[in-house]
Chain A
Amino acid sequence: MKIHIPLHLLDQIQSHGENAFPNEGAGLMLGQEENGKRTVESLLFLENAREEENQHNRYLITAEDMLLGEKEAARLSSSILGIFHSHPDHPNHPSEYDREFAIPWYSYLITSVNNAEAVGSRCWRLEDDRESFSEEIIQVISN
């Protein structure tokens, strides 16, 4: 599995995580999937809707924001391919909480942000049995 992301969009995702530090930042990746090939074309930066005191290790994108995302995707003739979020001072590996609330099919791109500096992103997809994630290779497209 691979997800193709233009370099400038990956930079924006990582900057968003840095700006959200010490809290988690999140948003949506919109784009195309054709014959299993995923390509991110645009991003939607969203508010972390979790209560302030829990934003350092939790994020929430409300159904109302997802509805906005679906409308934006329809306007762009694209789809919501997945979600990006940051892990402040933690590895870019899905947590147990991530697994519990994850939805199959979506790409979950996680950026590790250490001391307000993004140090790397990895992408994951939940298996159908909901028991584990598989890594989806990030293929960066040069600008």
Chain B
Amino acid sequence: MPILKIPTPLRPYAENQSALTLPGEIVEEVLEGAVETYPMLKKHLFNDEGKLRPYVNLFLGEENVNQLEGLKTPLSDGDTLLIIPSIAGG
């Protein structure tokens, strides 16, 4: 199963775990599994319309999945998916 790495700020919403092993054949399924298992994660990953918040980025190894197939990017057993926030403000 793929592994989802949780950044430090979001660990309190996932029982302080740094990595979750979740079923899923594409990125979207792994994220859905994460928020089903840890509902507190949801409001920090998704906005009220159910879309990924703009600061949430997903990397498969060194590659941003936006450069691959986005949420439909296929995952293999043992792949590591990283949640990396981008930071904006004013």
Contact = CB atoms under 8 A, between A and B. Distances in A.
Question: Which among A63, A64, A70, A106 has the greatest number of chain B C-beta atoms within 10 A?
Answer: A63
B86 A97 contact: no
A83 B88 CA distance: 10
Interface string A91-131: 00011011001111110100000000000000000000010
A79 B90 CA distance: 24
A9 interface: no
A61 B64 contact: no
Contact of B86 (A57, A60, A130): A60
A59 B9 CA distance: 20
A13 interface: no
A98 B89 contact: yes
A58 B86 CA distance: 14
Contacts of A10: none
A108 B89 contact: yes
Contacts of A26: 87, 89
Interface string B37-76: 0000001100000000011010100101000000000000
Given A95-B90, A98-B90, A63 B59 contact: yes
A35 to B, nearest CB: 14
Contacts of A130: 43
B84 A85 contact: no
Interface string B1-34: 0000001111010000000000000000000000
Contacts of A62: 86
A103 B89 contact: no
A95 B54 CA distance: 18
B37 to A, nearest CB: 19
Interface of A: 24, 26, 50, 57-64, 66-67, 70, 79-80, 83, 85, 94-95, 97-98, 101-106, 108, 130
